[in-house]
Amino acid sequence: MKGLPKLCVISSDHECTSDETYDLVEKCRKAGVEVKHHSQKYLCHVYALLPFLPEAQAAEKQIVDFLTV
Amino acid sequence: MILSNSTALHHTCSDEYSAITTLMWPLRLGPMTLSRMRFGLANIGYNFPYDSRIRTTKVEGIHGEYLGKMVSHTHTQHTSKSVIFWIYGGAFLSGNVDGNVPLAANYADKTNSSAFVVNYKLCPEGTVENAVEDVIDAYNFLLASDYVDDASNVTILGISSGGGLAVRLMQHIALNKEFYGGVTVKNAVLICPWVNYDIENLPKSLVENTVHDLIVHQGVFSYVIPFGPRMAEMSDGKSNYRKVSPIFHR
């Protein structure tokens, strides 16, 4: 993972790719990659793409803030 | 409301999430097919309001291959050539450019950027390695084009399996620093990235959370997993789960 750019990772603790997302974040951080990891509880896979959910709107704000800072 | 709140995983979830949990729960009872998966993912953009300001340009490679679409808003006054390199998801079996255009346009609009939605081969017609090649080819073409000044203006955004492809692309860039003049992309966003395709040693969450996951429920899971050997096929025709999985790359 060395040499990867700054990452913003959006996930949920209760969705199917939760374990591997945490593995990825840990490996990246160990390799010196700057990672912002936003993980919500109780939500489904790719919840951030369901724009009518307040939880998705919060995720969108996290992504836009990351990209525009 | 009482029914909705009892079907979501936790009472702290929003009413909207509880409601969609109730509405979508019966979908797991129906048989899953490739057509259903592809239809669903091709229409993911309908979750976003119709926006007549979205402008798209089809981008073709030097041999006329379909690399993807540039997406922007007609009203956006671009002060930079920032581009979001958008890699859709769909478990490598589904997902397409047009379905993702409204999503990409939404983020492009909110970040004063353009977006490039990359087209790549799906399984079982192709393999994960084919998809990685398509994504790398499209990235190289974009860098050589007038759409971006240089890689430092590029954000990579990957969704689910697209997140895995995003990591593979970034690993490729990092390993080939000299080819890319030592310049990597500005940053990357990974939305619920799927990065481990080792079906012989599945992560616990991939098995257990399908019980309540709305999107990757038991029906999707049991349909996708048998495609694992084809997804992981290498050029010699043999499957190598760890080699295709970005989580096992250094």
The pLDDT value given to residue A43: 92
**Which residues of chain B make contact with A66, given a CB cutoff of 8 A?**
187, 189
Angle at B231 between CA B27 and CA B197, to 5 degrees: 80
Residue whose entry in the numeric block shows the structure tokens 């050589």: B144
pLDDT at B66 over 60: yes
Residue B74 burial by Cβ neighbours in a 10 Å radius (0-12, 13-18, 19+):
exposed
Report the predicted TM-score, pTM, of the whole model to 2 decimal places: 0.94
Residue B7 scores a pLDDT above 80: no
What order do you get walking across the sheet with B54-60 strand by strand? A35-40, A6-12, B187-191, B154-159, B83-87, B114-118, B66-73, B54-60
Q: Which one of B16, B156, B205 has the shortest CB-CB distance to A18?
A: B205
For A17, the 3-state DSSP assignment is coil
pLDDT tens string B16-43: 998 888 888 888 888 899 999 999 999 9
Question: Is the complex ipTM more than 0.85?
Answer: yes
Least Cα distance to B38 among B125, B117, B105 occurs for B125
Residue B6 has pLDDT above 80, yes or no: no
Instruction: Encode pLDDT of A9-63 as tens digits.
Output: 999 999 999 999 999 999 999 999 999 999 999 999 999 999 999 999 999 999 9
Q: What would the mean pLDDT of B70-75 be, rounded to a whole number? A: 83
CA atoms within 13 A on the CB side of B125: 7
- pLDDT at site B35: 94
Burial class (CB in 10 A: 0-12, 13-18, 19+), B223: middle
Rounded to 5 degrees, φ, ψ at B157 are -125, 120
Band (B11; pLDDT cuts 50, 70, 90): confident
- Residue B222 reports pLDDT greater than 70: yes
Residue B139 pLDDT greater than 70, yes or no: yes
pLDDT at site B9 = 66
Among candidates B163, B121, B137, B167, which has minimal Cα distance to B59?
Answer: B137
CA-based nearest residue to B19, from B36, B35, B6: B6
Of B12, B47, B204, the CB nearest to A52: B47
- Do A21 and B17 count as a contact with CB atoms less than 8 A apart? no
